[in-house]
Amino acid sequence: MAKTQFSWRDIRADERPLGRSNGHAQFSLALVYANSYHIGMSSLGFQRVYDLVNGTPDWSCERFFTDGTGSPRSVETGSPLGGFGAVAFSVSFEEDYVNLLQLLQRAGIPLRREERRADDPLILLGGSCAAINPLTLAAFVDIFALGAAENLLPSLLGSLAEESSREAVMERLAGTPGYFVPAYHRPQEFGGVEKLKKLDLTAEQMGMPGHLPTTAIVTPRTEFSQKFLVEMSRGCPEKCRYCWATFGMGRFRWHPSEFILESLERARAVTDQVGFVATAVGDHPEIERILQEANRQGFRSAVSSIRIPAVTAGVLAALHDSGDRSITLAPETGSDELRVKLNKPIPNSLLFDKVRMIFQEGFTQLKLYFIIGLPEETMDDVEAILEVAARCREIMLEELSPRGIIGQIDLGTNILVPKPYTGWQREAMADPKTLGRKITRLRKGAARLPNVSLGAMSIRQAIWQTYITKAGPEAAEILEQAAAGMDLSALLRKYAHQIEPLVFERREGHLPWQFLRAG
């Protein structure tokens, strides 16, 4: 057997668990993040499932990641992935689909669900990708869990514990709200009308004890090194047309402040750093009080992202007191007109006011995220991005230079990937040649602005993402080739006849992924 290149024992030695672990439980679930330990343990959703399974009587959870070579082994006991009765993947990014297939290959588990035998593990998929469009992986996954782990784990673990065969588990869950079981749900071979129910957290559940997701294991080996993460809210008060988070997670609702602050008590024993996370952290009605109270208790606080209107002097002061010097905003476009079309009616004048406030409060680094390739976007809109960057730089110099500080502005440029269940789900991805010209123009313009950097998404990656987010089971062969190691450029060339119509043509009529409905 091939050896892993590192030791899970070293990694475990750095971990500081806050939650429960049933070492000798009767049942065990393999929980897999189809990427590295570093990325997987940075995911609050993944840590939440781990915590919930270990908190279920008679159950324990063992984690798997892509690190190493050969047969994947669990972090907890070194058990092989193929030896579990059920393997649950948590996937939030479509790019990880190829890693998922490679992990199955390494474990000796047949890739196609129809080739699995009675003694092969059941392959389950949860996380946001399951609810965006499960059809892309329908040839590989036995059961998709659609919605919040808190609602789905009781029925899932109950079925796994009580049923004696994989067929019986699939049959039972096919009749349970919140699951898509491709072997049983075959509405017109996955293009049809049968409506399956998603079960996300309700506003009432958000205010119930036990429903507040937090980090289960603090470790230095994540994006948020040593931070204890706390979920603040779900959904978003905005409805930006490209954003799956707002359409897929339902209306905006938040956890009560007292639960959020109580959770810090659990964290105190292992860390003094806390990260408040959500799609719209700054919109929690008591964000200022929560940040101030965390500071008062001796925590250093950070937030995941903040909407432009939610930036206030109080929030900035609390973050600055915690030692934060960097803020990320997402204007998305340079022109007010295009921002209105995107359904984010925030004028540049408000953006500039908030940017001034940020530098006045002592922040020295500003990250601004933009999207190009939007419907109706022109070269003038791209010029407008550079004008916004230049104006923000002027503000930075006006505020920081008198204090002898040199600040930094980083521009992140993504390409629109029109996703299912968003306002732009029917749109085509922009033409690569035009995108190439726009990126070149942005690079040249940003190069003329000292202390301004620009990072741009690869066009090839955007094509691949658009394809796999919209594809159906016919993508199976392409994904298998990718898992076998075919390079992305070769893949896009070989399967251009299949990929390009789905990516570059506007979708009219029936949308095959629209067989899921909110619970």
CB of 62 or CB of 332, closer to ligand SF4:
332
Q: Backbone phi, then psi, for 115, in 5-degree steps?
A: -95, -5
Binding ligand SF4 by CB under 6 A: which of 11, 245, 310, 449? 245
- Determine, following the binding rule CB under 6 A, whether residue 236 of this chain makes contact with ligand SF4: yes
CB of 30 or CB of 230, closer to ligand SF4:
230
CB of 227 or CB of 307, closer to ligand SF4:
307
Strands of the sheet with 326-332, listed across from one edge: 326-332, 365-372, 408-415, 452-456
**Binding segment toward ligand SF4, per CB under 6 A, in 165-173, 237-245, 316-324, 410-418:** 237-245
User: Could you tell me which residues come within 8 angstroms of residue 487 by beta carbon, excluding any fewer than 6 positions away?
Assistant: none
306 to 345: interface string for ligand SF4, x by CB under 6 A: -x------------------------------------x-
Residue whose tokens read 């020295």? 364
**Binding segment toward ligand SF4, per CB under 6 A, in 24-32, 235-243, 262-270, 353-361:** 235-243
The residues facing 253 across adjacent strands are 234
CB of 281 or CB of 400, closer to ligand SF4:
281
CB of 252 to ligand SF4, least distance (A): 9
Whether 308 and 350 have beta carbons less than 8 Å apart is answered as yes
**Binding segment toward ligand SF4, per CB under 6 A, in 96-104, 143-151, 198-206, 239-247:** 239-247
Q: How many residues bind ligand SF4 (CB under 6 A)?
A: 11
CB of 86 to ligand SF4, least distance (A): 32
Binding ligand SF4 by CB under 6 A: which of 49, 240, 368, 429? 240
Taking alpha carbons only, the member of 364, 368, 416, 365 closest to residue 389 is 368
| Amino acid, res. 153 | L
- Determine, following the binding rule CB under 6 A, whether residue 246 of this chain makes contact with ligand SF4: yes
**Binding segment toward ligand SF4, per CB under 6 A, in 78-86, 94-102, 171-179, 234-242:** 234-242
Whether 231 and 256 have beta carbons less than 8 Å apart is answered as no
CB of 240 or CB of 499, closer to ligand SF4:
240
CB of 98 to ligand SF4, least distance (A): 26
CB of 271 or CB of 422, closer to ligand SF4:
422
- Determine, following the binding rule CB under 6 A, whether residue 280 of this chain makes contact with ligand SF4: yes
- Determine, following the binding rule CB under 6 A, whether residue 231 of this chain makes contact with ligand SF4: no
CB of 72 or CB of 235, closer to ligand SF4:
235
DSSP summary character for residue 27: E
Element (H, E) at 498: helix 496-504
State both tokens at 38.
Answer: 């570093």
CB of 54 or CB of 246, closer to ligand SF4:
246
- Determine, following the binding rule CB under 6 A, whether residue 439 of this chain makes contact with ligand SF4: no
CB of 352 or CB of 369, closer to ligand SF4:
369
CB of 267 or CB of 346, closer to ligand SF4:
346
Binding ligand SF4 by CB under 6 A: which of 86, 243, 327, 516? 243
Whether 304 and 275 have beta carbons less than 8 Å apart is answered as yes
Element (H, E) at 356: helix 348-360
State both tokens at 364.
Answer: 């020295």
Taking alpha carbons only, the member of 46, 37, 44 closest to residue 15 is 37
CB of 454 to ligand SF4, least distance (A): 20
Q: Strand 196-197 relative to strand 86-90: parallel, antiparallel, unpaired?
A: unpaired
Q: Strand 300-303 relative to strand 326-332: parallel, antiparallel, unpaired?
A: unpaired
**Binding segment toward ligand SF4, per CB under 6 A, in 17-25, 242-250, 406-414, 480-488:** 242-250
Q: Backbone phi, then psi, for 325, in 5-degree steps?
A: -130, 5
CB of 385 to ligand SF4, least distance (A): 17
- Determine, following the binding rule CB under 6 A, whether residue 303 of this chain makes contact with ligand SF4: no
Helices (H), 114-268: 128-132, 149-162, 166-174, 203-206, 244-248, 257-268
CB of 89 to ligand SF4, least distance (A): 24
Q: How many angstroms separate the CA atoms of 99 and 95, rounded? A: 8
State both tokens at 516.
Answer: 């899921």
User: Could you tell me which residues come within 8 angstroms of residue 389 by beta carbon, excluding any fewer than 6 positions away?
Assistant: 368, 409, 411, 445, 446, 449, 452
State both tokens at 121.
Answer: 């593990």
341 to 380: interface string for ligand SF4, x by CB under 6 A: ---x------------------------------------
Q: How many angstroms separate the CA atoms of 145 and 90, rounded? A: 10
Binding ligand SF4 by CB under 6 A: which of 62, 94, 142, 238? 238
CB of 136 or CB of 422, closer to ligand SF4:
422
CB of 94 or CB of 238, closer to ligand SF4:
238
List the Cα angle 132/180/190 in 5-degree steps: 75
Classify burial at 175, counting beta carbons within 10 Å of its beta carbon; exposed 0-12, middle 13-18, buried 19 or more: exposed
Classify burial at 373, counting beta carbons within 10 Å of its beta carbon; exposed 0-12, middle 13-18, buried 19 or more: buried
Binding site for ligand SF4 (CB under 6 A): 236, 238-240, 243, 245-246, 279-280, 307, 344
